[in-house]
Structure 1
């Protein structure tokens, strides 16, 4: 099982000083010192969604290559390959603007946000989300 799924953190959000809703110090008696661990997949996906929305609201990142460039920086990843795979899965162009949040309506386009999370899950976990994982994504999006 991929590390992200073991941690209920399928998009592999790194630990920071800030705590996410549903984040736990350890899971099943094991602590991952690098990546967040969540009490459930739903909380892991919710944190991903909130972070992706922050990229648009705070950092004004509206195109896939910029979003992925921040999520998976070149010093740690093959950012171009990551972005290419997400774009292909979403049937979007790298420079094509997408909307996952706006200041007036934080949940403006849940379908696009869902597609982005599913596509990033494919890259991070090596497979598309299962039916159980898709249900957790849907639950997470209702929590925004």
Structure 2
């Protein structure tokens, strides 16, 4: 039986780092060391919908951050910019991550997106969940509810 991905165990499918200053709705705290994690790092949530909500809220917050020169519009608004911020190259194969999410969304990696659009936020959220967990571990309804909560 394959191991359950860390993001699924923590109900944090985006593998968001734990920071006690972030009072995310449903955040329980730092993932437990007892779950076979030698160096706990990620937040743990009470339910997947709230973990997905936090993922969506972070993506929406990126809009106000400096984007990459010559990419998209001002601010972070492309798959390239979101994923570069989400999964920095010192920890990830960011180019492969960008390509996978853009392909899944059927958009060019540098095309400007309206991240506050439900369908767009759903698409990028699903791309991140898929990449972080090696698949989509939740029903469409669970993911859509998390995205709805992020947009509320």
Q: Indicate the TM-score class for this superposition, using the shorter chain for normalisation.
A: 0.7 to 0.9
> Deviation string for 1:57-113 (max 9, x for gaps)?
344101111110000000111100000000111111111111113xxxxxxx10110
The answer to whether structure 1 residue 45 and structure 2 residue 52 are counterparts is yes
Deviation at 1:121, TM superposition (A): 1.1
- Correspondence 1:24 to 2:32: no
**CA distance in structure 1 between the partners assigned to 2:148 and 2:99 by the alignment:** 28
1:135/1:88 CA distance change after superposition, 3 Å: same
**What are the equivalent positions in structure 2 for 1:1-144 lying under 5 Å apart?**
1-16=4-19, 17-25=21-29, 30=34, 33-59=40-66, 60-101=75-116, 109-131=117-139, 134-143=140-149, 144=152
State the aligned residue count. Answer: 135
Give 5+ residue unaligned stretches, structure 1.
102-108
Is the contact made by 2:79 and 2:124 (CA closer than 8 Å) also made in structure 1?
no
Unaligned runs of 5+ in 2: 67-74
1:142 CA displacement: 2.6
Quickly say closer, same or farther: Cα 1:42–1:74, change in 2 above 3 A: same
Runs of 4+ with deviation above 3 angstroms: 26-32
Q: CA RMSD in A?
A: 1.9
